[in-house]
Structures are given as structure tokens and as C-alpha cells.
């Protein structure tokens, strides 16, 4: 009796599992998937203090700049190594070295970089926490490896800041890696214009798009590897809202440097006295 009954039970369980996966998930199930991913990202953000070195290709309008970037516990340094596909001229190379040396000797600039980094990190965390409430989520597809979800603005969500108003009118897709509940990609577009101060201080145009790609660069450690933002408009007081950027980061390696001076030496720059 053991063999046939076990085989039938196993078949029934597999059939039930396949049936459940084939059914569309309810809204609350989709929302819970997003909450689990948000919690995973927040835990990783608070516990992971690793620093990295990588190559940064910045394709902003009018330029194609290539940097070598090194992170340290004191901050980060990046050195421009090519512009528009060409190596720097001797004069441009001299100016770049002087810029890095000036930064190494300017505690005020270093403090500003840390403040800016802390602000960006705090804003990213606030936005991440808003994801479950800011949108209505539905599951598009699921595989053993990933879940793809679609999101639309939640009419019941009240944006707590001007920046959040831009977030709150986005619609698009998010892909979650099911191994660890990590956000693999997030893309979207503005569903309508965003007016700041009734349009007096700025506006973002409907149809603007963004996409962010994230990949594990080491076991358990995810980083943004691609960032594409094409949001047009004007913002007199908040210039960072409207932007057109295409950025790709490659060649990730753990950074061995503990200080900015060590990072400068690895970038081929000697601190000036």
C-alpha cells in the first residue's frame, strides 16, 4: 500500500502546486510579494557595509564619460579616464589629477560628499518603503527564479513630499528575484504631468521613463548596474528631478582601500602637500 498511495499523493500535490501557480494571484498576494522584497532590501541596506571598485560609463546628454570609481569607508573617489570614447589629453589629465588632489585636501568637500550620500541613501529608503502603498500591484508572471509584477498609481496614496509626487504617478513593472526576495529591476513611466507649485516652480512631462537594473556582484550583495532616466521638464528649485541619464557600471570588485588617500594611489594619483 505504501507505493501506490505515495505516488498518488505526490501526483496530487504536484498537480495542486501547478494549479496554484497557474492561477492569477490576488491583489493582497501581490502586495505581500512586494512587502517581502522591500523588507529584504532594507535588511541588506542596513547590514551590508561593504565597499567596491568598478568602472562607470556615464552617457549623459552631450557626453560619454568613463570613470574608474573606488569606494572607501571615508567616501568615494572616481577618476575620469576617457571622454567621448577618447583618452584624455595631457592637459585634461592634469586637470583631473588636480581636481582629485584638491578634493583630498578639502575636508569641506569630503563632508559635503558624505552628506549628499546620506541624503541619497535616506531618500532611496523612503521611496523603497513607499512601494507597497504607492501602487496597486498585480502579478504578471512567475517562474521558479523570478516574479514579474505590474504596478499602477494608487489613488488612495497621499505623497508625503514633492519628490514622492513624481513617484506616485509612475506605472510600470518590477522584477523580483525569488532567491532572497531581491529587486532585480524596476521600470516605469509618468502617467501624467507633475506640476510643482501649480507649475510655477517646475513641471515634469507625462511619458518620461526610467529603468533600473540590479545584479548580484557577490553572493548576497546586489548593486545597481544600469540606470536609465529620461524625464523631461523643468524644475527651478529641484533640479535633480528632471534629468536624462544613462549609466552602466561594470567590473565590480571588493575595494581593499580604507582611506581616500589609499583610493587615490590606486587611481594613480599622489596626494599633494
Extended strands (E) in 45-181 = 52-58, 65-72, 75-83, 86-87, 135-142, 146-153, 170-177
Instruction: For residue 240, name the pLDDT band (cuts at 50, 70, 90).
Output: very low
Give the alpha-carbon dihedral of 125, 128, 132, 137, to 10 degrees. Answer: 180
Choice among 134-143, 175-184, 199-208, 257-266 with the minimum mean pLDDT: 199-208
State pLDDT tens for residues 56-112: 999 877 789 999 999 999 999 999 999 998 999 999 999 999 999 999 999 999 999
Residue pair 100/77 in contact by the 8 Å Cβ criterion: yes
Residue 187 cell numbers, joined: 521600470
Spatial distance between the Cα atoms of 169 and 120, rounded to a whole number of angstroms: 21
What predicted TM-score, i.e. pTM, was given to this entire model? 0.81
Q: How many CB atoms lie within 10 A of CB 39?
A: 14
What value, to the nearest 5°, has the Cα angle with vertex 76 and ends 73 and 77? 140
Amino acid at each position: 500500500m505504501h507505493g501506490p498511495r505515495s505516488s498518488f499523493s505526490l501526483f496530487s500535490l504536484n498537480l495542486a502546486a501547478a494549479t496554484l501557480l497557474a492561477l492569477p494571484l490576488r491583489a493582497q498576494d501581490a502586495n505581500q510579494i512586494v512587502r517581502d522584497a522591500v523588507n529584504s532590501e532594507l535588511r541588506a541596506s542596513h547590514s551590508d557595509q561593504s565597499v567596491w571598485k568598478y568602472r562607470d560609463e556615464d552617457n549623459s546628454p552631450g557626453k560619454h564619460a568613463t570613470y574608474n570609481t573606488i569606494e572607501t569607508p571615508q567616501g568615494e573617489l572616481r577618476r575620469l579616464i576617457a571622454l567621448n570614447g577618447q583618452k584624455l589629453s595631457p592637459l585634461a589629465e592634469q586637470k583631473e589629477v588636480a581636481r582629485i588632489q584638491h578634493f583630498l585636501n578639502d575636508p569641506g568637500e569630503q563632508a559635503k560628499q558624505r552628506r549628499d550620500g546620506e541624503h541619497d541613501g535616506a531618500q532611496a529608503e523612503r521611496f523603497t518603503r513607499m512601494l507597497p502603498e504607492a501602487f496597486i500591484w498585480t502579478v504578471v508572471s512567475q517562474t521558479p527564479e523570478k516574479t514579474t509584477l505590474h504596478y499602477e498609481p494608487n489613488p488612495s496614496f497621499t505623497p508625503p513630499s514633492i519628490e514622492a509626487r513624481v513617484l506616485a504617478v509612475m506605472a510600470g513593472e518590477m522584477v523580483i528575484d525569488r532567491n532572497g526576495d531581491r529587486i532585480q529591476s524596476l521600470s516605469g513611466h509618468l502617467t501624467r504631468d507633475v506640476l510643482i507649485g501649480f507649475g510655477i516652480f517646475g513641471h515634469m512631462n507625462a511619458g518620461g521613463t526610467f529603468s533600473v537594473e540590479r545584479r548580484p556582484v557577490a553572493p548576497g550583495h546586489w548593486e545597481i548596474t544600469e540606470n536609465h532616466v529620461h524625464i523631461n521638464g523643468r524644475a527651478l528649485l529641484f533640479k535633480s528631478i528632471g534629468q536624462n541619464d544613462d549609466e552602466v557600471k561594470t567590473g565590480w570588485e571588493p575595494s581593499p582601500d580604507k582611506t581616500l588617500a589609499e583610493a587615490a594611489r590606486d587611481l594613480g594619483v599622489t596626494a599633494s602637500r
